[in-house]
Amino acid sequence: MNALIFTPSGIYCPAGDFYIDPWRAVPRALITHGHADHARLGMEAYLATDIAGPVIRYRLGNIALEEICYGETRQIGGAKVSFHPAGHVLGSAQIRVEVMGEVWVVSGDYKIIDDGLSTPFETVRCHHFITESTFGLPVFHWPNQNDVSHQINDWWSHCAKNNKTAFLGCYSLGKAQRLLTMLDPSIGPILTHTAIDNTNQVIREQGIKLPKTFIANASVDPKNFSGAIVLAPPSAIGSNWSRRYGAQETALASGWMTLRGVRRRHATDRGFVISDHADWPGLLEAIKNTGAENVYVTHGYSNIFAQHLSNLGWNAKVLQTEFGTEIEKETS
């Protein structure tokens, strides 16, 4: 019997009778991180890291959520379980499950570069590794984060000089906070859309330092914030909400901005390549370092990526899940 099996409700551990990031209602769910396709409503009991906990509670409301620290071991039935940093967003975890000496790791979403905010990715040795493949194609190579910071700040300065408001589209959980730490507050005021501000509040209450921001709600007078940058979910850009700010330039921050076609389709003025997922070399390195012989490839370019791993000698399979890839979320 395998330590983990794949069921219509999600990834299941028979020995411990729990699911990991299930997409249907189940009695017990272990959650890698707070994004909506991994942390869903309807589970009777949740387990997540203490760092991810507050945001999951904020998003899912009054749920039975128990918290666990990185590296802490817990026995659940016949399974030994621990959570390890995945480097994806604040508090995101890879979940290690050991049953009778067989070790599985569910990595959720991950990136291996240090973004300066999330606890950096940690290699966990295992026999079976379940990996995402959002950017599992050899065309994805992330530029250095410092270089991207410069690009964004240069663009913001350029907008400020031309009396335009800079609108930067990004997800409210993860990307927004990471970008906040990359901005140079000496250029001008930083505003955030309500959805981002709400998440920021939760994170600040956890004692995590973020630069000073102003909430960009209806009571704000844009005239008081000349030279500002506004962080907002991509869907809010170009809406009635953003039009109040008058002359503006728009940009998106996403790994998909690598592709000129996607950039042009979104028709924003700029696209910055920055992602909370692993790029092609990142995925390969992470998989190699686990020492796993068996690799299960989930959401993303799973067929192509699994084929490549097979050719390189791994026992690799495609695993159908209901985890979304960014591009679907972004373009829907």
Partner 1 sequence: MKRFATLFKALDESTKTTVKIDALVHYFKEAPEQDRLWIIAIFSGRRPKRAVTTGQLRAWAAEVAGIPLWLFEESYPIVGDLAETIALVLPPPDTETDHSLTYWIELLRELPQEEDTRKQAVLNAWNGLNLTQRFLFNKLITGGFRVGVSQKLMTRALAIVTEREESEMAHRLMGAWSPTTITWRDLIEVENSTASASKPFPFCLSHALDTKINCLGSTSDWQAEWKWDGIRGQLIVRDSELYIWSRGEELVTHIFPELVSIHNFIPQGTVMDGELLAWGEAGPKNFNTLQKRLGRRTVSKKLLQEAPVIFYAYDLLEWQSEDIRHKPLNIRRKMLEQLFKNPISGAPIKLSPTVEFDTWASLAKVQATARAEKAEGLMLKRKDGPYLAGRKKGNWWKWKLDPLTIDAVMIYAKSGHGRRANLFTDLTFAVWSGNDLVPFTKAYSGLTDAEFRKITSWVKKNTLERFGPVRSVSPHFVFEIAFEGIQASKRHKSGIALRFPRIARWRHDKSPHEANSLTDLKQILENFI
Q: Under the rule (CB under 8 A), what is the footprint of partner 1?
A: 137-141, 258-262, 264-265, 267, 269-270, 301, 303-304, 308, 311, 327-328, 331-332
Q: Quick one: 209 or 260, whose CB is closer to partner 1?
A: 260
> What contacts 60, CB < 8 A, 6 or more positions away?
39, 40, 41, 46
Residue 138 CB, nearest approach to partner 1 (Å): 5
Residue 2, amino acid: N
Residue 307 CB, nearest approach to partner 1 (Å): 8
In whole angstroms, what is the distance from residue 224 CA to residue 226 CA?
Answer: 6
> What contacts 109, CB < 8 A, 6 or more positions away?
32, 33, 35, 38, 86, 88, 89, 92, 132, 134, 276, 277, 323
The token pair at 318 is 């495609």
Q: Quick one: 122 or 269, whose CB is closer to partner 1?
A: 269
CA distances from 14 to 78, 98, 141, 193, 242 (A): 9, 12, 38, 43, 49
In whole angstroms, what is the distance from residue 302 CA to residue 294 CA?
Answer: 15
Residue 331 CB, nearest approach to partner 1 (Å): 5
Beta strands, E only, the chain: 5-7, 10-13, 18-20, 28-30, 45-49, 65-68, 73-76, 79-85, 93-99, 102-106, 128-133, 165-169, 190-192, 214-215, 229-232, 248-253, 270-272, 294-300, 315-318
Q: Quick one: 129 or 140, whose CB is closer to partner 1?
A: 140
Residue 332 CB, nearest approach to partner 1 (Å): 7
Q: Quick one: 1 or 139, whose CB is closer to partner 1?
A: 139
In whole angstroms, what is the distance from residue 119 CA to residue 17 CA?
Answer: 28
Q: Quick one: 92 or 298, whose CB is closer to partner 1?
A: 298
Residue 50 CB, nearest approach to partner 1 (Å): 36
Residue 261 CB, nearest approach to partner 1 (Å): 4
Q: Quick one: 212 or 260, whose CB is closer to partner 1?
A: 260
Q: Quick one: 104 or 142, whose CB is closer to partner 1?
A: 142
Residue 38 CB, nearest approach to partner 1 (Å): 19
Q: Quick one: 220 or 262, whose CB is closer to partner 1?
A: 262
Q: Which of 149, 172, 23, 190 is nearest to 89 (CA)?
A: 172
Strand 93-99 versus strand 79-85 pairing type? antiparallel
Q: Quick one: 138 or 246, whose CB is closer to partner 1?
A: 138
Residue 310 CB, nearest approach to partner 1 (Å): 12
Residue 209 CB, nearest approach to partner 1 (Å): 33
What's the angle, vertex CA 322, arms to CA 113 and CA 10, rounded to 5?
100
Q: Which of 327, 272, 273, 282 is nearest to 301 (CA)?
A: 327
